[in-house]
Amino acid sequence: MVNISINTTQNVNINFEAASVGERLLAYLIDWVIKIAYAIVVYQLLFKAFNFESWAKDMDQWSVMAVVVFFYLPAIFYSLIFEALLDGQTPGKRVMKIKVVKIDGYQAALPDFVVRWFFRIVDLNLLSGIIGLIAIISSDKNQRIGDMTAGTGVIALKNKVNISHTILEELDTDYIPTYPNVIRLSDNDVRIIKDTFLTAKKSKDYATLIKLREKVIEVMGIKNQLESNDIQFISTVIKDYNYYTQNM
């Protein structure tokens, strides 16, 4: 099993299992089936339903080629289009539950997908994909040349690691923080607070929640607690820390 260690923007290392060669190959084959099906549909419409051959007689060779290429552009740019729209996944990758991510912890963006798509010429088209296969097998992060160049990797989404195992919190775009003093805490402080909070909350250990709240108030120097109970307060503190560290 190969792991990809991603250092997030909050200096939190999260280990993901890299997608295996078999998973990537199956995703690739699924995508190829979809592209072949699309090509068949286009052929049936273009040459059967619209009788392209008859009215193409009045066109020069370059014009005919331009029309054909135009209709097959979605197949040519298939992976680029879907990875950009589906946040690093094609239909094949989605079925296999694998995804393209940046190994530096940032969100993969269109330029990254463009680089990966361009290097398909080397990875997947030359020597029937042998180059890409060798690159994946020999890479310590199961990366093909396109991944190495774009700084991306393909991870398996079947990992048990999720956001609840880190100090990260999902925040609404209009989230308004409550306690500016939360910046007195460190990543390690918040990690301990969150781990203790989740464990105490799950076991309904209210005594621990009270002690945790009191300690947080002491360290942060909070004068007035605005939340009505310990759970709401600690949850707010964790979210506030995420808000300030994400926007620093």
Q: What is the DSSP string of 34-88?
A: HHHHHHHHHHIIIIIIS-HHHHGGGS-HHHHHHHHHHHHHHHHTHHHHHHHHTTS
Domain boundary among 135, 156, 177: 156
User: Residue 170 carries which side chain, given as an amino acid letter?
Assistant: E
Number of structural domains the chain divides into: 2
19 in the same domain as 119: yes
What integer pLDDT is reported at residue 28 of this predicted model?
93
223 in the same domain as 151: no
239 in the same domain as 122: no
CB within 8 A of 144, min separation 6: which ones? 119, 123, 124, 132, 135, 136
**How far is 42 from 128, CA to CA, in rounded Å?**
25
160 pLDDT higher than 60: no
pTM for the complete prediction?
A: 0.61
Domain boundary among 98, 131, 156: 156
Tell me the angle at which helices 78-85 and 110-118 cross, rounded to the nearest 10 degrees: 160
Per the CB < 8 A criterion, the answer to whether 181 and 220 are in contact is yes
150 in the same domain as 192: no
Per-residue pLDDT of 212-248, as tens digits, reads 888 888 888 888 777 778 888 988 888 888 888 766 5
Per-residue pLDDT of 98-120, as tens digits, reads 999 888 766 788 999 999 999 98
Domain boundary among 128, 156, 184: 156
The average pLDDT across 71-99 equals 92
Domain that holds residue 190: 164-246
169 in the same domain as 152: no
31 pLDDT higher than 70: yes
